[in-house]
A and B are shown apart, each in its own frame.
Chain A
Amino acid sequence: MIAYIIRRVLYAIPILIGINILTFVLFFVVNSPDDMARMNLGMKRVTPEAIENWKAERGYDRPLLYNAARQGTEQLTNTIFFQKSLKLFQFEFGVSDSDRDIGYDISQRMWPSLAIAVPVLLVGLLVNITYALLIAFFRATYIDIWSVVLCVVMMSISGLFYIIGGQYLVSKLLHLVPISGYDTGLAAIKFLILPVLIGVVGGIGAGTRWYRTLFLEEINRDYVRTARAKGLSEGLVLFRHVLKNAMIPILTGVVVVLPLLFMGSLITESFFGIPGLGSYTIDAINRQDFAIVRAMVFLGSVLYIIGLLLTDISYTLVDPRVRLS
């Protein structure tokens, strides 16, 4: 099993290198630093000196891959690729265009993102599994049919509508919680209730339908028939046998997204003015702050790969067959 995990970890390395090269190409080769400078300084009346200054301040004045003006290893290290791209591996994100340390910002903004993402995930799981089990219990009845219809209808509504509608109804009409904002410590709760609620409601449609399929797949298995044949009640069959076995795909599906919870939700955070990583990214996109977007692209990819690793590991833990092959 250790060998298996080591193999998976080693497999992740070329992927990380690939991502690094891809971001480098996307951010520095497709458009040169000159283009970025011109874009940021405004198109009109921009002097070559201003561009040079802008580049020098941010360290974009180096050559892309090979610095002929330097000696020895400096020829390779004093380049944009080494300074800006390879440094990402050490989680050195550099400074943003507005001269803030990106690494520090990320470590600060991670927590509000988690404060929303973790409750949404946990409450969502609970609600979806409960509802899906209920549907599975009443399978092939009108409750089943109409629940599926409800799920499809809920899936068809844009997430934006849940947010705008929920914000309008709960905050603006009923004045139950503040419209947006954030606070430290326990005072944050009143700001978090609505986003979490909306996140859970928005996920019910797709989640419940998916879990229902998983449950129904398990219900047709032989061991379930055996359990019924030996006289277990339907509720016991569902909870003790079906739920337990269906938890394998459910949990491995959850494990993939666990690391990505750090990234937060782009839309929810910007709507509710929560200073997490999601709104950080959106602000960066709107301000065209390339350093931040580049850092987030890399961070997101790393987290996703960690998620894949965790999935592999959790498979070996819950399903011995994987370990043997």
Chain B
Amino acid sequence: MMDSLVILWTDALVFLLLLFVGTFGVYAAGKEHLRGPWRLVVRSRVGVSTLVILSFYVAVGLLDSVHFEPSYLADPQAQDRAQSTEVVSLFDRLVLPLRERQEKTYSAPLATHLYAKENIEQSDGTMIRDYPRLQYGGAHLADPARDWAGDVLRLSLIGLVKGLLVTLVLANILFALLASRRAGGFAGVAREVLTGKGEIPWRSALITLGLLLMVLLWAVELSGRYHLLGTDKVGEDVFYQALKSIRTGLLIGTLTTLVMLPAAILLGIMAGYFRGWVDDLIQYTYTTLNSIPGVLLIAAAILMLQIYMSNHADEFNSLVERADLRLLFLCIILGVTSWTGLCRLLRGESMKLREVDYVQAAVAFGVGHFQIIVRHILPNVLHIVLITVVLDFSGLVLAEAVLSYVNIGVDPTMNSWGNMINSARLEMAREPVVWWSLLAAMIFMFTLVLSANLFSDVVRDAFDPRLRSSR
């Protein structure tokens, strides 16, 4: 029986976005004023390093966006599971062990025992109160107290060495590729890259990639035998949760922009180009929307959605679908609250462009408004759109966490950093403290947001003509 593909709403939009980015890439490749700044981005050391990290996140997010119903649902023996109409992603398939090895409740990172004492029946029938062994974490150790440290050290070393080897192989492939393209031979190219002399800072990219691969393979090695970041209240692997949350974070950051872009671009340019009552009307619309504090508008909208969903519960086939629609709705409402900034920028810019000589010339030649906007205005404001999109991303990822904490973010059943932090609030009040959910969410979120912030700075510097001329 084949797995049947399930396309959730957000999945469809992700691939639409991918198509969009691809088309833009092809378009930009042919235009010098768009290609030039990108060349500056990949020539910056910070630019390539953050690009490597961001592509790792994007890869996980994309793998996690291909959903299907696993074939065992058709198996008559698994009928009870079929009722839950479980939907898994390609990524779940890749990390199947992480998903399936559930413990009973909390356990610390790399632990071999549960975090709470329980009554354990000894082989002679007596009961003692102790920390029980984990079902999966470190189950291969005969005597955890003696073997644990050595085993963790051994696995870590294996992982790091593997990471190093993979990096070396990749580096050599890169050298070979570069050498085949230009003169200097393999050794010459290798020397150029390693001393950091080339135009593109391959060395920075390689170092970042190497560190990333080492951490990744270290994590793979350890999470094969242990729970790398511990387990949560119901015994689910926290490392798995944090990885799954990547998709949520990325979606909020990108889909929101995708949703708001058409309105912002169209209205912004129209307001600036046509002036008069069109301008007044559009300005009125965005001032009104902007006046409502964002969080409250989101809260009101999400409350209304909750009412709708609880009154029409039968319209949703599965929990996943429900959570997915809520995520989409959250993106839309976040878009509604955040399009005004871009719209205002575009209005100002088109107002300036309208008076430029070549636009005036086009008007004099009798070119239609639509043609002028598409041919002269739009290409000249694209850099503003791009800068805004990249700058907004990290703010949106952070906003997700806050909104989920207030219970007006993504669905509580969905994996997200906000939900992890939300549950961590109670865990931090426990004695002894359960800190690893918070830590995991923070590490993943911080890495993404920091990379995005640094990357957006590079992009802004490269695209902003004002900044470029002043240097």
Which residues of A are in contact with B by a Cβ distance under 8 Å? 14-15, 18-19, 22-23, 26-27, 30-31, 35-36, 38-39, 43, 152-153, 155-161, 164, 167-168, 172, 220, 260, 263, 266-267, 270-271, 281-282, 285-286, 288, 290, 293-294, 296-297, 300-301, 304-305, 308
Contact = CB atoms under 8 A, between A and B. Distances in A.
Contacts of B408: 285
Contacts of A304: 290-293
Contact of A19 (B288, B424, B428): B288
A286 B307 contact: no
Instruction: Kindly state the interface size class of chain B when it binds its partner.
Output: 35 or more
B457 A152 contact: yes
A288 B309 CA distance: 14
A288 B292 contact: no
A38 B287 CA distance: 34
A56 B292 CA distance: 29
B299 interface: yes
B446 interface: yes
Interface of B is mostly: helix
Contacts of B306: 39, 288
20 contacts: A15-B287, A18-B284, A36-B307, A39-B310, A43-B311, A153-B450, A157-B446, A157-B449, A158-B449, A161-B442, A164-B424, A164-B438, A263-B293, A266-B295, A267-B405, A281-B299, A290-B303, A293-B299, A300-B296, A301-B291
Nearest to A303: B293
Interface in B298-320: 299-301, 303-304, 306-308, 310-311
Given A160-B421, A161-B442, A297 B303 contact: no
A297 B291 contact: no
B292 A300 contact: yes
Contacts of A285: 299, 303, 406-408
7 shortest interchain CB distances as A-B pairs: A18-B288, A156-B450, A300-B293, A156-B449, A301-B291, A297-B296, A31-B307
B82 interface: no
B280 to A, nearest CB: 10
B176 interface: no
A75 B221 CA distance: 74
B296 A281 contact: yes
A319 to B, nearest CB: 18
Interface of A is mostly: helix
B405 A35 contact: no
Contacts of B292: 19, 22-23, 297, 300-301, 304
B259 interface: no
A26 B300 contact: yes
A27 B417 CA distance: 30
Nearest to B454: A152
B425 interface: yes
Given A152-B453, A282-B406, A305 B398 contact: no
B307 A39 contact: yes
Interface string B414-432: 0000000100110010000
Interface string B444-463: 01100110011001000000
B428 A164 contact: yes
A164 B450 CA distance: 20
A282 B409 CA distance: 13
A308 B408 CA distance: 27
A17 to B, nearest CB: 9
Contacts of A30: 304, 308
B88 interface: no
Contacts of A167: 428
Interface of B: 284, 287-293, 295-297, 299-301, 303-304, 306-308, 310-311, 394, 398, 401-402, 405-408, 421, 424-425, 428, 433, 438, 442, 445-446, 449-450, 453-454, 457, 470
B303 A293 contact: yes
Contacts of B446: 156-158
Given A39-B310, A158-B402, 19 more contacts: A19-B291, A22-B289, A22-B292, A30-B304, A35-B307, A43-B311, A157-B449, A158-B401, A158-B449, A159-B402, A160-B402, A164-B425, A167-B428, A168-B428, A285-B407, A288-B303, A293-B300, A300-B296, A308-B287
A294 to B, nearest CB: 8
A76 B272 CA distance: 39
Contacts of B449: 156-158
A321 to B, nearest CB: 17
Contacts of B296: 281, 293, 296-297, 300
B407 to A, nearest CB: 6
Contacts of A27: 300, 304
B330 to A, nearest CB: 14
Contact of B407 (A157, A164, A263, A286): A286
B55 to A, nearest CB: 18
A267 B289 CA distance: 23
Contacts of B457: 152
A152 B456 CA distance: 11
A160 B407 contact: no
B151 to A, nearest CB: 31
A219 to B, nearest CB: 12
A158 B293 contact: no
B402 A260 contact: no
A267 B404 CA distance: 11
A15 B280 CA distance: 12
A39 B309 CA distance: 10
Contacts of A39: 306-307, 310-311
A27 B428 CA distance: 36
Contacts of B311: 31, 35, 38-39, 43
